[in-house]
Amino acid sequence: MRKPLVGALCVASWVCALALAETAKGPKLVGHMTAFRVTTENGKEVFGPAQKVVPGAVIEYRLKYRNMGTGPARDVALVGPVPKAAEYQDKSASAPEGLKVTFSIDGGKSFHVPPIKYKSKRPDGTVEEKTAPPEMYTHVKWELQNPLKPDEAVEVQYRVKVK
């Protein structure tokens, strides 16, 4: 029998959101990441705390950042991890206008637009190119295509399923 993952997916332990900004004109990004357990009741999605989760549970992560500074924040990138105890849920990453969404299969070292190709060695030693399924994704990244103006906010979300 599997034990519930207590606190394993708590927000604090998975916050890897990155916010890169130009500092010369005074941008100041303030943000947070929250996690919600998603269930269905009477045909409607219900969002609750993600403190105790079990295999099969769906968790929605939400990243929200606001520019509290006096100048525009440029080159902003938000990155959300996919916990090792979970799998990314295909097409669950929001794609707000003005944001480019990419994914990593290598622990966040590189990001690509799907389909993501990788090379795999066959038993006979030859190499074949494969397409990574969403279950292989380790991170989701959103890049703002335009500067984030003072007092402007951006919010994105994605879902994972606990293994």
118-129 pLDDT tens trace: 999 999 999 999
At 133-162, the pLDDT tens digits run 999 999 999 999 999 999 999 999 999 999
Provide the domain count of the chain. 1
11 pLDDT more than 80: no
Task: Using alpha carbons, select from 62, 65, 122 the residue that is nearest to residue 92.
Answer: 62
pLDDT of residue 17: 38
The rounded distance, in Å, linking the Cα atoms of 14 and 42 is 31
Cis status, amide bond into 115, omega within 30 of 0: yes
pLDDT of residue 6: 38
12 pLDDT more than 80: no
Contact, 32 vs 126, CB < 8 A? no
Task: Using alpha carbons, select from 79, 63, 92 the residue that is nearest to residue 159.
Answer: 92
At 24-61, the pLDDT tens digits run 448 999 999 999 999 999 999 999 999 989 999 999 99
Q: Tell me, what CATH number does 12's domain have?
A: 2.60.40
Structure tokens at 61: 């992560």
Q: Give the domain extent around 13.
A: 5-162
92 contact partners, CB below 8 Å, separation of at least 6 = 60, 157, 158, 159
pLDDT of residue 20: 41
